[in-house]
Amino acid sequence: MTRDLDTVTAPTSASPAALPSPAAPATRRRGWRRIAAVAMVAGPGLVAANAGNDAAGIATYASAGSQFAYGTLFFMVLVTIALVMVQEMAVRLGAHTGKGLGALIREQFSLRLTALAVFCLLLANTGLVVSEFAGIGAAFELLGVPKWAVIPPAAVLLWSLVLFGSYKWAERIFLVMSLAFFAYPVAMILGHPDWGQVGEHLAVPHFQPGKDFVLLAVALIGTTVSPYMQFYAAAGVVDRGAKPADYKLIRADAVLGAVFACLISLTIIIATAAAIGGTGPLESAAQAAEALKPVAGHSAELLFAFGLIGASALAGAVVPLSASYAVGEAAGVERSVSRSFRDAPLFLGLFTAQIALGAIVALTPVDVIQLLIGTQVLQGLISPIVLVYLLVLTNRRSVLGDAANGPRYRIAATTVVVGVAAMSTVLLVQTVLGWLGLA
């Protein structure tokens, strides 16, 4: 792949007199090569990170803005750093081993620990798949279209996209879906937020005591550093045939994708904070759209619905794919979007079952916002378990050789995992104490 990219050159003038010094064309060619290389490699990292800004993510970020205004911005900066490191480790495993996260867990851990990892992912993903189709239904209901008229066709379209396409074709469609996220920076700019407050809260820690803030913080971790993203990112790198020589470009895709996704999440928080910051948690998708009316006028519902449709459709395909990859890798069977149903029955059969289940449950009368945020809290509780597997694998030289985590990276990555685990533990303890009437 790297050798092929070296053949990309920039056009030069036909007139000898117009040619600059010999160093300039070489510099220009190198610049075009870098741009072309990043464009060609963009895929698994960007898709996985953007899928985190799904319906549940949008609901969680909007609730953060409405409930605590700009108060969670610094926390999101920390979460962004965590996401960059986690996604980089996932794609590094895929590029250097040629195996997905599920396959590596099966090889390096016991059968029970492998089953635990797969169970956690399936548990978290089940609620997520339902939430994605619920998000699609809620978006169209904002436009006056009943959810029963759109959820079944949406399920069939997403199922067909994966079942009858190649990985490369499906990946490009996923990237196009990501364009929907630009609706939220527009909403932020139209909201005219207090940029002084935004800058202060981005740079200075603002943590509030109380269960509500901890609950939302764990939900922010869950929706931003979702377990399925690591499984999809590593498996996507393998499915597209990347090699160790492609790692630098794969890493650029993962890092830029994570940063872009988190910037979008920040704009959602800021846009909602500018409109209704401090008024309390959101209770419905309609209320979230209503929050944008002061900043986007009567087009608020269209703006919110467009972003919600694109985000939900993207994650509606990526989330079940991640579980299918994980189970297929753990079972040691064929798993690829480019394979037929006959060649990969478990992989595509599980994908089909998840799509069907998600669409059916989403057609029932569910509280969309509570479902969306609830699934993110569950993701936040499960994330530390998956991150421990990821950390152990990237620390092992027997798995990655010289590409294993160095001493400094190991300390930083361990800090991230411990921090996520600590937040999840605090929430779990608070929840149990609440059940016992002690909190």
Question: Three-class SS of residue 175?
Answer: helix
Whole-angstrom distance, CA of residue 433 vs CA of residue 414:
28
Grouped pLDDT means (10 residues each) for the chain, 439 residues = 39 42 52 48 60 71 88 91 90 89 88 84 78 80 83 87 66 63 76 87 82 82 79 80 82 86 88 80 64 60 70 77 81 71 81 88 73 68 85 91 90 88 74 63
> In Å, what is the CA distance from 227 to each residue of 42, 52, 146, 153, 240?
21, 10, 32, 28, 21
Cβ atoms of 305 and 135 within 8 Å: the answer is: no
Domain ranges of the chain: 43-435
Q: What is the pLDDT of residue 357?
A: 86
DSSP states of 67-132:
HHTTTTHHHHHHHHHHHHHHHHHHHHHHHHHS--HHHHHHHHS-HHHHHHHHHHHHHHHHHHHHHH
pTM for the full predicted model? 0.75
3-class DSSP state of 207: coil
pLDDT of residue 392: 92
Answer whether 231's CB lies under 8 Å from 325's CB.
Answer: yes
How far is 430 from 435, CA to CA, in rounded Å?
A: 9
Domain 43-435 class in CATH: mainly alpha
Q: For residue 395, what pLDDT is reported?
A: 93
How would you label 330-361 residue by residue, b for 16+ Cβ within 10 Å and e otherwise?
bbeeebbbebeeeebeebbebbbebbebbbeb
